Structure 1
Amino acid sequence: MTSIKHVGVVGAGQMGRGITEVCARAGLHVTLCDVTEDRARAGLTGVADALLKAEKHGAIGPEDRAHALAGISVTADLSRLSGADLVIEAAVEDERAKTELFQQLDKVVTNPSAVLASNTSSIPIARLAAVTGRPQAVVGLHFFNPVPAMPLVEVIPSMHTSRATEQRVRAFAAETLGKKTIVTQDRAGFVVNSLLIPYLLAAVRMVGSGTATAEDIDTAMTAGCAHPMGPLRLADLIGLDTVAAIGEALYEEYREQLYAPPPLLRRMVESGLLGRKSGQGFFNYQAA
């Protein structure tokens, strides 16, 4: 298997920054791409801040931090990813946006051995692979937030993904990045979100029906079930828009009501109350 040395990351948001950080810390050359140069540079600033925090906490040394930063370049030009060995899409959780991006990547990534991967939380990989001329080289590579701290990566081959592609990305995640990997069938939500999202939506329904406050629901699960974080703070961390989008994708796939985003969640998203990233969700983060 050809080794992976140059990784392209498309999307400089929270997940893209985390993926960029772990790849750079592993000694890889990373090209971080977003729709504008300013957004890509903002992503690099976020990675730099995270690396500095890791150094202060003793997780990495100053030389490691400097080496990781030196290995990252930023761009708004997708063609800069032409020679990448692996491109990881970490764009907004929207099927149309992702399929359009995969169409573009299929044209600009000219490395014949390149793998095109998606960090999607819920969209079937087959739909993304179908818009390319290389479905055998398309795979799901689902990281979890925060990427540097969370050990799991879901590897999702579609029906067309070659065994060699699957083995290559699994070895990359496990051996190069030091992650724990699982392989899951290409079904919306995969393993983690198929289990997690109904739980989060049930907590939202409890708030909407007045069963208990968000604070009390979270306390019930942390103090009563030993969960490290309550479902509503977790939803805020993920992003309420992302939770709603995953719920929609799961509902479209399975048509089961437990996956349908409840009205309260829809209204919060429509009102821009998205959780931590907007400063307000089920909890207030303005002063955090």
Structure 2
Amino acid sequence: MTLPQVPFDDRGLAYGDGVFETVLLRQGKPVLWPYHLARLTRGCRRLGIPVPGQQALDAAWQEKPQAPLEVLKLIVTRGSGGRGYALPDAPLPRLLIRRTPFVPAVKRWQEGVTVRQCRLQLGHQPLLAGIKHLNRLENVLARREWHSSEIAEGLLGDTHDQLVEATSMNVFWQQQGHIYTPRLDKCGVAGTLRDALIEKGEVHEATLPMTALPTLERLWVANSVQGVWPVTALVDQANARLKSWSLEAVDDFQLAAHRLLGYVAQ
């Protein structure tokens, strides 16, 4: 299934006025589907966009699978209409769907990754915090900061220099044997894997200054499609190494997360 032509006056195209979900399909079935539906609903309600019907959302993944693993992308925009930023009187949301075959980066599960600290700092906007809205320009600008294939992700702090997320993943760390992830009440995207791990008591929310990153016992980046990548090296904005971590023989946090995603330990 491919994206249809988007009209010139679509508000998602013009203003980022909408939300999206990126869902892992395993044998055609959506993984963590209740969490994706909950975030999509939360985002639509936060923006005042009518939530698409359950039948339309379920139909997005009920076609014959193209591959054992696929990625389903759902985009909901407010549709067309309204003058300038003013909203249409009776919005007709537009639901766009695409699904593509997917192969996870297993090598990154096994060998870990290098991440860098980004220069860009995320601004605070509590009304948008946690939801996966279409205006991702901060993440786009942050991803422009490096071109080396040796760097897998960039870590983003906010304007108070507190750790928030990676450019397209959530961040997790170990301190005194416990696993934490940043609070996302001011900015950032609350990932569905993150939500599931918090609900199951595997992870707790906390704050962490960017300057404290080299003091951590362990560090990971993760999302509901790629799974968990252990961080083995942290570099600064000039690519100077700040910290190295060794891989553990058994990564209990990765195993717990991968069980939720159906990934077999490699």
* TM-score normalised per structure 2: 0.34
**Which structure carries more relative contact order (alpha carbon 8 Å, separation 6+)?**
2
* TM-score normalised per structure 1: 0.32
The structure whose residues are more often strand, as a share, is 2
